[in-house]
Amino acid sequence: MPDPRVPRRRRYLVCEPRHFDVQYAINPWMRPDAPVDTGLAQAQWRALVESYESHGHTVETVAPVPGLPDMVFAANSALVVEGRVFGSLFHAPERRPESLPYETWFKGAGFEVHHPESVCEGEGDLVPAGRWILAGTGFRTTREAHREAQEHFGMPVVSLTLVDPYFYHLDTALFVLDDGAQGGDGNIAYYPEAFSPGSREVLARLYPRAVRATREDAMAFGLNSVSDGKHVFIAPEATGLADRLAGLGYVPVPVDLSEFHKAGGGIKCCTQEIREIRS
């Protein structure tokens, strides 16, 4: 029988999809000619927030800005570890104005914000995994930003190269199941084929017990999940992955964000985790 999993209460920052839409194409999922059902998107997003709250997590919101349809993807705005905020510098000019309203929110909440010097899309590509930070590059965040993040946080940053345009952010191909805070090395789930051969080998060395997902689960946004150490908020179509996680003692909590998949985002993309210093 697997060990009982222990959840930890989290603080999440999200942005209401009031102005969400697909108006430009900066990844292969986006089709500006395919309509988004904005009412459905709002309902799906509210169900995500309610699900976090009913599992004991704190959810805070940043006010959406008209004309910034991707601002709902809060994960991209920053990486916050031990109360240090590493802000964003978006690759696409269309998304660059998003950094400022998030920065204003962080400052208002009492945080200082570091401005990255090169392209960096927050938790989309920088994924804290306990003692180190896993960092994606290839489509958006640069290696220079990885080095800058290592210097900023004083934590080892492990650079991983993404090779499949459908998995353009690290958080579309990998998520942290357990960050090792309760002891042990932690664990992740990922889709190996999204990574270069060398990066696959790195992941296999760091995480010999990792859950390797299929392309089907990855294309269903199954790896764009959020785990609190026990509950895994996951796309309902990623059934194979959810079954395997259940077999390991995790509790899959299905949350359908299908309208957001049209923009290339899912549950994790809509969620920024604010990690403060652990007392």
Closest by CA position to 127, among listed 175, 94, 90: 175
β-strands 187-190, 211-212 pairing: parallel
Q: Which of 264, 267, 273, 274 lies at the binding interface for ligand ARG (CB under 6 A)?
A: 264
- Residue 90 CB, shortest distance to ligand ARG, in Å, is 7
- Enumerate residues 33-72 that contact ligand ARG by CB under 6 A: 70
Q: Is 198 left (phi over 0), alpha (psi -120 to 50) or beta?
A: alpha
Is 269 among the catalytic positions? yes
Q: Which contacts qualify for 252-256: CB closer than 8 Å, 24 or more apart? A: 253/51, 253/55, 255/44, 255/47, 255/48, 255/51, 256/44, 256/47
149, 106 in Cβ contact below 8 A? Answer: no
76 near ligand ARG (CB under 6 A):
yes
244, 211 in Cβ contact below 8 A? Answer: yes
Task: Select 30 or 100, whichever has its Cβ closest to ligand ARG.
Answer: 30
Q: Is 65 left (phi over 0), alpha (psi -120 to 50) or beta?
A: beta
Is 270 among the catalytic positions? no
β-strands 11-15, 272-273 pairing: antiparallel
75 near ligand ARG (CB under 6 A):
yes
Q: Which of 119, 177, 269, 274 lies at the binding interface for ligand ARG (CB under 6 A)?
A: 269
- Residue 46 CB, shortest distance to ligand ARG, in Å, is 19
Binding mask 110-149 for ligand ARG (x = CB under 6 A): --------------x-------------------------
User: Per CB under 6 A, which region of 23-31, 100-108, 127-135, 226-234 contacts ligand ARG?
Assistant: 23-31
The tokens describing 153, both together, are 């946080």
Task: Select 5 or 75, whichever has its Cβ closest to ligand ARG.
Answer: 75
Query: How many of the chain's residues bind ligand ARG (CB under 6 A)?
Result: 16
- Binding interface with ligand ARG (CB under 6 A): 26-27, 30, 70, 73, 75-76, 95, 124, 169, 171-172, 263-265, 269
